[in-house]
Amino acid sequence: MLKYWKEMLTGSVPVLLLFLWYVGVNVVPILLAGAVAGLLLFAVRTRGQLPVPGGGKAPRKQPAALTFDEIGGQERAKQELMEALEFLIRPDEIARFGIRPLKGILLTGPPGTGKTLLAKAAAHHTDSVFVAASGSEFVEMYVGVGASRIRELFREARQKARKAGKNSAIIFIDEIDVIGGRRDGGQHREYDQTLNQLLTEMDGIQANESPRILLIAATNRKDMLDSALLRPGRFDRHIAVDLPDKKGRRHILSIHAAGKPLGKTADLDKVAEETFGFSGAQLESVLNEAAIYAMREESDTIEMHHLTMAIDKVMMGEKTDREATREERERVALHELGHAIMAELVRPGSVSTVALSPRGQALGYVRHNPQQDRYLYTAEYLEGQIMVALAGAAAEELFFGGRSTGSRSDFEQALGIVRTMVESGLTELGIVDPGMLTPETFSRVARDLLDRLMEKTKACLREHRDVFERSLELLMREETLSGDRFREFLRGPVQAGA
């Protein structure tokens, strides 16, 4: 009965008012009083001061706090960050030693490596409130808006900390290079004002204030930052957040695999091996895509082939259904076989799959077996890599008498390797200052080196012409050749007789 009190009230009040009016009572004051009371009630309720009937004020949902344990790899970055955060956790000792407290920490590294995660975990670790913004949010056409947003950000952090009863607040600014790029004193007045305001706010942070403010900023362009930002007393602690190594990748994979039904064949060690150069964000994406593939196949569990398909997708993009002509397909097949043959000659056993299915921008691709993570390369190794990159175009020349636009990205890759060689003093130029190198000199060295390696590649492929002929039909028909199958073709009469 009581639960219908609203409906009963809504029905009986107008009837009562009508009756009073009928018997001659002046109902206008009652109506006015009712309206005022209603308005007051509404105002108080929307400010959240009055308990909502049937359950009190609904609690605001807080996102789950993130801990350092939920960040895979990055052990060195985590360690350095935790050390830097000591001053927020042990302020008395820091004061006793007279240590200048830290105002800013700069996290540098490629996208998707966990910089935002580290900043969030830092807030949890130090029991601080967390306020985040991105550099691009401060960029406006109107001069002064960015600067006032910076002021607002600091004010918000202090207010939030006081409200939550915390002693400290961490302000995280992602993409700091957008506002913290070098000031040129002229054209970008808005950027300059925003940066000046940030510097002023940082200088205003007091050692003994409460709540204490710590800034954490992230960038992947540290070289672009204004030196005023990096000087002592500002962002003077720099922590590199690099792409994870194999152990780190395995750790990240296991974090994101939690709660996913992995099947018996799913081997995360192998996935970690095959994903050299992947960021944490890409690894998360691999597991997510694998789960989608498994669901689409109506499989109960995520198996290794789902993970392999997901790696290909994250590496090269989704399969597309571009229709190619037979001639085009043949050209792509020979191009990919060229890469595969050269890869086997340079590094035997390295081909994992040769595929003729379009993905992302590519019409075909060769997937390589995992290599050991390596950080040092010899000139010989790099020349081998260039030959593998050039082998697609070399194969096209061999069979069609000319190249196509399909080699563009191969050439970009080859030129990238040449640049590394030049900068590392591995070319005929010897040790050079890359900044003093004229484009003409680089072009000459690159052309000489690439021409020489192209001739060498063509000579190698010419010797293996029959491997192309033997494997082409099967690749055209089946669209993929496993590494083992391909090596069988390679071990044919040419190798035997060689």
Q: Do residues 319 and 289 touch, judged by C-beta distance below 8 A?
A: no
Give the phi and the psi of residue 73 in degrees, each rounded to 5: 60, -145
Sequence length of the chain is: 498
Shortest separation between residue 280's beta carbon and ligand ATP, angstroms: 2
Residues numbered 344-373 forming contacts with ligand ATP, rule: CB under 6 A: none
Nearer to ligand ATP, 112 or 263 (CB): 112
Q: Which of 66, 74, 250, 421 binds ligand ATP (CB under 6 A)?
A: 74
Q: Rounded to 5 degrees, what are φ and ψ at 307?
A: -65, -40
Task: Quickly list DSSP for 358-406.
Answer: -BTTBS-EEEEPP--------HHHHHHHHHHHHHHHHHHHHHHSS--GG
Count the alpha carbons within 13 Å of 11 in the hemisphere toward its beta carbon.
Answer: 5
CB of 141 to ligand ATP, least distance (A): 24
User: Least Å distance between CB 406 and ligand ATP?
Assistant: 31
- Of 314, 310, 316, residue with least CA distance to 296: 310
Q: Which span (34-42, 53-61, 109-117, 195-203) binds ligand ATP, by CB under 6 A?
A: 109-117
Which of residues 72, 135, 211, 392 is near ligand ATP by CB under 6 A?
72
Residue 176: CB minimum distance to ligand ATP, A: 11
Task: Return the number of the residue (94 or 240) whose C-beta is nearest ligand ATP.
Answer: 240
Stretches 6-14, 266-274, 278-286, 476-484: which one binds ligand ATP (CB under 6 A)?
Answer: 278-286
Query: At closest approach, how far in Å is the CB of 136 from ligand ATP?
Result: 11
Q: Which token pair is 347?
A: 């590094």
Which residues inside 383-442 make contact with ligand ATP, applying CB under 6 A?
Answer: none
- Strand partners of residue 169: 129, 213
Q: Report d(CA 414, CA 61) in Å as an integer.
A: 52
Residues marked as catalytic: 336
Number of residues that bind ligand ATP (CB under 6 A): 19
Site map (CB under 6 A) of ligand ATP, residues 234-273, x = contact = ------------------x--x------------------
Q: Which two tokens stand for residue 383?
A: 């020349």
- Kindly tell me which of 239 and 394 has the beta carbon lying closer to ligand ATP: 239
| Distance (Å, whole) CA 483 – CA 274 | 14
DSSP symbol at 215: E
Task: Report the residue number, 114 or 181, with the smaller CB distance to ligand ATP.
Answer: 114
Distance CA 199, CA 202 (A): 5
Distance between CA atoms of 107 and 363, rounded to whole angstroms? 38
Q: Which of 87, 122, 170, 174 binds ligand ATP (CB under 6 A)?
A: 174
Q: Which stretch binds ligand ATP (CB under 6 A): 49-57, 66-74, 90-98, 292-300?
A: 66-74
**Shorter beta-carbon distance to ligand ATP: residue 72 or 384:** 72
Q: What is the DSSP letter of 214?
A: E
Q: Of residues 110-169, which lie at the interface with ligand ATP (CB under 6 A)?
A: 111-117
Rounded least distance, CB 238 to ligand ATP, Å: 15
Contact 205, 103 (CB under 8 A): yes
Residue 343 φ/ψ, nearest 5 degrees: -60, -40
Q: Both tokens of residue 158?
A: 């202090």
What burial letters (b/e) apply to 3-14, b meaning 16+ CB within 10 Å?
eeeeeeeeeeee
Draw the binding track, 202-221, toward ligand ATP (x: CB under 6 A; -: no contact).
Answer: ----------------x-x-
The tokens of 366 are what? 């060769």
Q: Which of 280, 364, 392, 406 binds ligand ATP (CB under 6 A)?
A: 280
Cβ distance to ligand ATP smaller for residue 280 or 392: 280
> Which C-beta is closer to ligand ATP: that of 120 or that of 234?
120
Contact 343, 351 (CB under 8 A): yes
**Cβ nearer to ligand ATP, comparing 116 with 427:** 116
Candidate segments 72-80, 194-202, 287-295, 375-383, binder of ligand ATP by CB under 6 A: 72-80
The helix, strand and coil proportions of the chain, stated in percent and rounded to the nearest 5, come to 60, 10, 30
For position 51 contacting ligand ATP by CB under 6 A, the verdict is no
Tokens 């085009």 found at: 328
Among 66, 68, 71, 249, binds ligand ATP (CB under 6 A): 71
Provide the binding-site residues for ligand ATP, judged by CB under 6 A: 71-74, 111-117, 174, 218, 220, 252, 255, 280-281, 284
